[in-house]
Amino acid sequence: MASSVKPWLQQAGKFPIAHIGGIPHLNQSVKLAAPRTGVLHTTEGGWAGSLAIFKQHFAPHFMLGFDADAQKVRIAQLVQVGTIGAALKAHNNQAVVQIEMIGFSKEAPWLPDDDTVEALASLMAVCHAEYGIPLTHPWADGDYGKAGDNPHRSSGKYGTVAGWFGHGDCPSPDTHWDPGNLKWSVVLAKASQIATAAAAPMIASAGPAAMALSLPSGAKKKATQPA
């Protein structure tokens, strides 16, 4: 595993990432040698109120969703990656990225609005490319971590299995159950689609050179001659 990571992201798909300063944070490093893990939370409140809390309290790395003042979906980075984002009661150093999404947890299967899904999927795609967090969730849709003690918290997967976890999947002493019964498969499929599309131009631009390098030396001249 890399011993350092890019601390600040600038863009996720079509979404610029704002950097908001003055956020309290702990100067403690995450365990970069651990399986690359992200944790998703829901704010259970709106943009302005949630940001006000994070300006007084330890915060996640990213916040995203609809900002009523700006009248659009936004992504903001509050804490540099590589330093812990303290949105859990414990075990923060085992998640390389933590995201708070504007929204409310639900027991019924749910998704946020389309723009928020795209913002979340775009950020997950960038986190996959930059930090190696797999675009996977360890449980099937409908099987989610609930409040208090639950099989997810005691499964031992968090910290040993790479991928994306909900707050409700994380070990005790946490009791929050966000993001509830989120349709993870839809979000992660969108993230995979974005990641593949982002990688395609790089593969295409490297095509002729890569082809020449892969051919035997006697075949290179023939392969590069005009038809």
Identify the pLDDT of residue 74.
98
Identify the pLDDT of residue 216.
43
Rg, Å, the chain Cα set: 20
Residue from 50, 53, 55, 48 nearest 24 by CA = 55
Q: 76-98: per-residue pLDDT in tens?
A: 999 999 999 999 999 999 999 99
Identify the pLDDT of residue 221.
34
pLDDT at 119 over 60: yes
CB distance 115 to 50 below 8 Å: no
N residues, the chain? 227
Q: Tokens in use for 141? A: 């849709």
pLDDT at 213 over 50: no
Identify the pLDDT of residue 204.
53
Helix (H) or strand (E) holding 9: none
Position 211 confidence tier, pLDDT thresholds 50, 70, 90: very low
Percent helix, strand, coil in the chain, to 5, is 30, 20, 50
31 or 212, greater pLDDT = 31
Residue from 82, 23, 29 nearest 57 by CA = 23
pLDDT at 167 over 80: yes
Q: Tokens in use for 23? A: 């956020």
Whole-model pTM: value is 0.88
The type of residue at 20 is I
Helix (H) or strand (E) holding 67: strand 62-67
Helix (H) or strand (E) holding 72: strand 72-77
Q: Residues 138, 143, 147, 151: is their CA dihedral positive or negative?
A: negative
Residue from 62, 150, 145 nearest 99 by CA = 62
pLDDT at 53 over 70: yes
Cis peptide, bond prior to residue 16, ω within 30 of zero:
no
Domains annotated for the chain, with CATH where assigned, are 11-224 (3.40.80.10)
The two beta strands, 37-42 and 15-19, are unpaired
Average pLDDT of the segment spanning 18-28: 88
pLDDT at 215 over 50: no
Identify the pLDDT of residue 206.
54
